[in-house]
Amino acid sequence: MSHQNDSCHTRVWLYGGLCGAFVSAGALALTFVVSSGQAAIVGETRTVEIKKAADPTVDQMKAAYMRPAMIPFPKDNPYTAEKADLGKKLYFDTRLSAANAQSCASCHNPGFGWGDGLAKGVGHGMKMLGRRSPTIVNAAYGQIFMWDGRAGSLEEQAVGPIKAEVEMNLPLAELMGRLKSIPEYVALFKAAFPKDGITEDNLARAIATYERTVVSGIAPFDAWIEGNDTAIPEPAKRGFAVFNTKAACAACHSGWNFTDDSFHDIGLDTDDVGRVKIVPGVLKMEKAFKTPGLREIARRGPYMHNGSLQTLEEVVEHYDRGGVDRPSRSEAIKPLGLTAQEKSDLVAFMTALTSQSDPVPVPVLPR
Amino acid sequence: MKLVKIAAAMAFLAGGTLALAAEKTIGQKGKLFSEKEVSIKKGDTLVFVNDDNIAHNVMSSTAGNTFNLGSQAPGKSTPVTFDKPGDIQVICAIHPSMKMLVKVAN
């Protein structure tokens, strides 16, 4: 059965009472539903013929990686300069933590590609956290946030670490009091949110607005995509082809930000249950984590959700081996049989995704 | 719960009444369901076909119509019959941006 021929048609199943007529499989089939319960009824899985698309040309592959022209801001939290300016001050302000010692920038530091350069983050009381601090680069383009996807919006993500006991450990109600005691913050909130000033929601809106302005710079890869054929070296061009074909990295690291915003067990040796804590009972979500984007990747090591791989070369070796073979492992992860040159070409390609970022000025904070 | 296919003659002998149930195919190409929203009747079937080039995990946690197809490889097709009325959110567990609403009427 070809899906292409079937998808636009509604077929009819006849239930009983057909005066003894015998109708065989095809456009008409006889089916008798016997029971009912609390679940939908799943039938037998069959193999169907799917028309295989022709292999894309290099130009077709390149078209999938064009930088977007605009930063997307949500309708319920549109950009304003006042919000972004306030959000930047909040982002860099250590008074957003119980100990007055940590800001968002402590773990998401522009100097480390908006991460912290550590295998695992450091939280309240200088205690090591369970996972690596993800970058906030290109968060504006994200669909779901945190390694396990427990935050559905950037606004939700922005305040999560502030109130998490193991991270910044500051209840938002207490933070509201702190902010209201700082006259310059009162004025800045009033300018950004004339209707209600300092509120927990407005705190989230301001930080998220600033985070959305943090977009990766133009990398050599972008210039190549735009048509400058000498912008990246030949190994990087070959690596791009391997990335999209033999290694199939693009099955998950897709689009201009190189992520599908989805969750996969990539076979790492880890005790962390990952996404399944958020969606219990789904086998494929065991040890599954969100696909990280690859922009600015060369300055964002160590790698993986637990920082267990130190270099991009180690990352490529992991994927080439295929990791631990277990039921939850993604079907996309399997031994690749890459040659030494293909591995080094992949690293050359990923290196070309890193821009020459300008220094980020730290704001003068309200007193 | 089980789905039993029988011949028409047996159905006739059992004294069943004539009813019509529709079946509609839902594709998953490009990490998208081919329909964002579909309206069906109780007892109708949606056939989830993985016509993409990667595995998907179609499921629903909506009470009364829960199901989980598990990892469905490209080229596989699985029917799901909905026999409880209501609005059902269907997702791919792997790719959360894949969402569709199934409206099941009595």
Q: Which residues does chain A have within 8 Å of residue B73's beta carbon, measured at their own beta carbons?
A: 331
Domain-embedded: residue A224: yes
Domain-embedded: residue A23: no
- For chain A, how far is it from start to end, CA to CA, in angstroms? 70
Would you call A264 and B74 a contact, using CB atoms and an 8 Å cutoff?
no
* Same domain for A119 and A164: yes
pLDDT at B19: 56
- Give, as one character, the DSSP assignment of residue A203: H
Location of structure tokens 């080094």: A344
The tokens for A337 are: 């049989």
Q: Among residues A181, A212, A243, which one ends one of the domains?
A: A212
Domain-embedded: residue A26: no
Q: Which residues does chain A have within 8 Å of residue B18's beta carbon, measured at their own beta carbons?
A: 14-18
Q: Please, which pLDDT band fits residue A34 given cuts at 50, 70 and 90? A: very low
- Among A111, A157, A143, A168, CA closest to A300: A111
Gap from B79 CA to chain A (nearest CA, Å) = 5
B71-104 pLDDT, tens digit each: 999 999 999 999 999 999 999 999 999 999 999 9
The tokens for A73 are: 């801001």
Instruction: Tell me the CATH number at A201.
Output: 1.10.760.10
Q: Which residues does chain B have within 8 Å of residue A146's beta carbon, measured at their own beta carbons?
A: none
* CATH class, B21-105 region: mainly beta
Active site residues of A: 167
| Residues whose CB falls within 8 Å of the CB of residue A78, separated by 6 or more in sequence, listed in order | none
The overall average pLDDT reported for chain A is: 90
Would you call B14 and A35 a contact, using CB atoms and an 8 Å cutoff?
no
Gap from A250 CA to chain B (nearest CA, Å) = 11
B19-72 pLDDT, tens digit each: 577 999 999 999 999 999 999 999 999 999 999 999 999 999 999 999 999 999
Would you call B8 and A262 a contact, using CB atoms and an 8 Å cutoff?
no
CA distance A48 to A45: 10
Q: Which member of B20, B75, B80 has the closest CB to residue A42?
A: B80
* Same domain for A247 and A190: no
A209-245 pLDDT, tens digit each: 999 999 999 999 999 999 999 999 999 999 999 999 9
Gap from A357 CA to chain B (nearest CA, Å) = 31
* Same domain for A64 and A98: no
Would you call A45 and B72 a contact, using CB atoms and an 8 Å cutoff?
yes
Would you call B83 and A6 a contact, using CB atoms and an 8 Å cutoff?
no
Touching check for A30 and chain B: CB below 8 Å? yes
**Measuring CA to CA, how many Å separate A289 from each of A273, B77, B93?**
9, 27, 12
| Residues whose CB falls within 8 Å of the CB of residue A81, separated by 6 or more in sequence, listed in order | none
* Same domain for A347 and A248: yes
pLDDT at B17: 43
CA distance A4 to B21: 22
Q: Which residues does chain A have within 8 Å of residue B72's beta carbon, measured at their own beta carbons?
A: 45
Location of structure tokens 């057909």: A18
A90-148 pLDDT, tens digit each: 999 999 999 999 999 999 999 999 999 999 999 999 999 999 999 999 999 999 999 99
Q: Which member of A21, A30, A284 has the closest CB to residue B71?
A: A284
* Same domain for A208 and A308: no
To 5 degrees, how large is the angle CA B1–CA B105–CA A40? Answer: 20
Which amino acid is it at A325? Answer: D
Touching check for B18 and chain A: CB below 8 Å? yes
